[in-house]
Amino acid sequence: MSFTERTIKATELMTLYHDAGWWGERKEQDIEHMLQRVVSVGVWKNDVLIGFARSVTDGMFRAYIEDVVIHKEFQKTGIGKNLVSRLLDELSHIDIISLFCEKDLITFYEKNNFNFSKSQFVMHRK
């Protein structure tokens, strides 16, 4: 898989989110704002965004991977693993990279050398 630099458009990402059943309430201007502040990677087929992943980071010590999404037609083809690998390349200078996922995705992330941790707990406020 080869990668080229390309701008991810909010409208493209909204379409991909919609396909996955994610974030129907998010507005285009808010997604555009988010895209300007994160490290992100995408995959296109015939000019259609079919995969996306982003990271929230302080740029030095910590990064958190979020919103790894692959179009339904392209899931389980290796695109997601390669997309996460590419994002990890972009974050290679970061000390600790974390994420949280559903139990059924643990083996997917283990393919990119993430380790399950029983010693940490996810906490949310909202």
| Section 79-90 average pLDDT | 94
Note the pLDDT tens digit of each residue in 47-82.
999 999 999 999 999 999 999 999 999 999 999 999
Q: How confident is the model at residue 121 (pLDDT cuts 50, 70, 90)?
A: confident
- Tokens representing 15 are 């379409």
Find residue 117's DSSP bridge partners: none
pLDDT of residue 41: 95
**Which domains does the chain show, CATH number per domain?**
10-110 (3.40.630.30)
Buried b (16+ CB within 10 A) or exposed e, 54-82: bbebeeeeebbbebbbbbeeeeeeebbbb
pLDDT of residue 4: 62
Q: Is the pLDDT of residue 3 over 70?
A: no
Note the pLDDT tens digit of each residue in 4-35.
678 999 999 999 999 989 988 999 999 999 99
pLDDT of residue 109: 87
